[in-house]
């Protein structure tokens, strides 16, 4: 396995193979995820985890339908299985049978119990609020057995995103590159801001960089196009060309997009010192 700081752009053929195998899954549990990871052992764990996360999120948005009828159906299935002797894997069994993520299944269960969506969200974050202790335990198991969906997964993703922003900040400081972070930029009236706006531009392999955006995930065409529309074009319009770091790799076909190497460049790590030119302006 390549060290994380040496992740290379992924060939489209390899990515398509992962997507094809993912689409054959009949479960979104940790067990199914580990089976897919084991098939692609040569791919860095962070990259594989990010790809699976993206695919699970999309599959759930495509296939899951929120309705009282579905919630009632899931709750009936749950109650029937709770009458059995072995209650340990009930949520996993039911989530697998309905081909949805465990955390999403327990969300649907709670929607049948509580009409207030706010209460459902609170119970997902704190299962001790659920009066039925058996249900509370099963909801807890469902959330903890889901790497990709629900409050537990959200906290992990937020923590990883912050970790890599701090890593980038340390890299900038170690090279004495002066910058303004998004908090400072917001005080200046900017509503959409990159993670770091450089006070003095640098050049990376000859490309002028005014700002840097940190993405602690894998970049494929779908999420990259979303970032392009919602963020990157805006940054370019306001600050000029920049650098986007997909820490967990990106699809090599992104490099063929017209915006890349015109509006911004892509990397999977902060560039090394040898590839950076720093400018100094005398006052």
Got the DSSP string for 20-85?
HHHHT-S--SHHHHHHHHHHTTTS-HHHHHHHHHHHHHHHHHHH----HHHHHHHHHHHHHHHTSS
The number of folded domains in the chain is 2
Final residue belonging to a domain, choices 148, 163, 196: 148
221 and 182 within one domain: yes
271 and 195 within one domain: yes
Considering the domain boundaries, does residue 52 fall inside one? no
The backbone region for 97, taken as left when phi is positive above 0, alpha when psi lies in -120 to 50, beta otherwise, is alpha
Integer Cα distance of 163 and 155 in angstroms: 12
Specify the pairing of strand 179-181 against strand 264-267.
Answer: unpaired
Considering the domain boundaries, does residue 107 fall inside one? yes
What's phi and psi for 229, nearest 5 deg?
-70, -45
Q: Measuring CA to CA, which residue among 89, 106, 92 is closest to residue 150?
A: 106
For the stretch 45-63, pLDDT in tens is 999 999 999 999 999 888 7
Considering the domain boundaries, does residue 228 fall inside one? yes
Instruction: Give the Cα-Cα-Cα angle 31, 36, 37 (nearest 5 degrees).
Output: 95
Considering the domain boundaries, does residue 62 fall inside one? no
211 and 122 within one domain: no
For the stretch 152-183, pLDDT in tens is 889 999 999 999 999 999 999 999 999 999 88
Considering the domain boundaries, does residue 200 fall inside one? yes
Considering the domain boundaries, does residue 162 fall inside one? no
User: Residues 6 or more apart from 165 whose CB is under 8 A from it?
Assistant: 195, 214, 216
What range does the domain containing 128 cover? Answer: 68-148
For the stretch 17-30, pLDDT in tens is 999 999 998 888 78
Let me know how long the chain is: 283
Q: Average pLDDT, whole number, for the chain?
A: 91
């Amino acid at each position: 396995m390549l060290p994380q700081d040496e992740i290379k752009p992924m060939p489209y053929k390899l990515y398509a193979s992962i997507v094809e195998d993912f689409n054959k899954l009949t479960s979104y549990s940790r067990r199914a995820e580990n089976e897919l990871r084991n098939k692609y052992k040569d791919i860095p764990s962070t990259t594989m985890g990010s790809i699976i996360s993206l695919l699970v999120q999309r599959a759930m948005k495509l296939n899951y339908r929120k309705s009282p009828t579905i919630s009632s159906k899931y709750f009936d299935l749950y109650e029937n299985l709770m009458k059995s002797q072995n209650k340990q894997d009930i949520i996993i069994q039911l989530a697998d049978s309905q081909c949805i993520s465990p955390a999403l299944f327990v969300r649907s269960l709670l929607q049948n119990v509580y009409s207030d969506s706010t209460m459902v969200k609170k119970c997902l974050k704190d299962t001790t609020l659920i009066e039925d202790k058996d249900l509370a335990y099963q909801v807890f198991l469902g959330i903890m057995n889901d790497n990709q969906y629900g409050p537990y997964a959200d906290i992990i993703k937020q923590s990883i995103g912050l970790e890599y922003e701090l890593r980038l900040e340390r890299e900038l400081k170690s090279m004495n590159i002066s910058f303004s972070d998004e908090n400072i930029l917001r005080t200046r009236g900017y509503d959409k801001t990159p993670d770091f706006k450089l006070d003095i531009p640098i050049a990376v392999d000859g490309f002028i960089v005014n700002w840097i955006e940190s993405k602690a995930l894998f970049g494929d065409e779908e999420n990259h196009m979303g970032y392009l529309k919602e963020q990157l074009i805006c940054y370019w319009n306001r600050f000029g060309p920049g650098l986007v770091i997909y820490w967990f790799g990106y699809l090599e076909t992104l490099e063929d997009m017209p915006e890349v190497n015109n509006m911004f460049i892509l990397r999977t790590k902060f560039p090394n010192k040898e590839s950076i030119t720093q400018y100094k302006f005398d006052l």
